[in-house]
Amino acid sequence: MTMCRLADFNSRWLADEHLMAGTDMSDKACKAYSVDLSAYFDGELEGDELARLEAHLDDCDACRGSLDRFTQLRSALNSMAKPPRRRGSILDELQAKLKVEAGGKPRAS
């Protein structure tokens, strides 16, 4: 997802959080933090950016709610069953062929 599309998605998500919290999103800080929330959630903010966002989160229920929803979404996605890996998949076959071409022995599947 491009940064512009991410900002738009996060901004809409945050607007919904403000509606649910019964607050107004006219605060430009909330709009400015829409991309930073994602970076914060992923552990990518440092220094002054981190301190500013954490100070904002202390005062903004809607932004905290958005962060909570990120956590819930990640948890739900992580709990989904991963599809089983098929034996003899195309990837296995290609890896075995490449290994043989490189002078190694093929791996038994």
Closest to 53 in 3D by CA, of 36, 28, 68, 65: 36
pLDDT tens-digit profile of 13-52?
Answer: 666 666 666 666 555 667 777 778 888 888 999 999 999 9
Closest CA to 49 of 29, 65, 64, 20: 29
Q: Kindly report, residue by residue over 38-89, the tens digit of the pLDDT.
A: 888 889 999 999 999 999 899 888 888 888 888 888 888 888 877 776 666 7
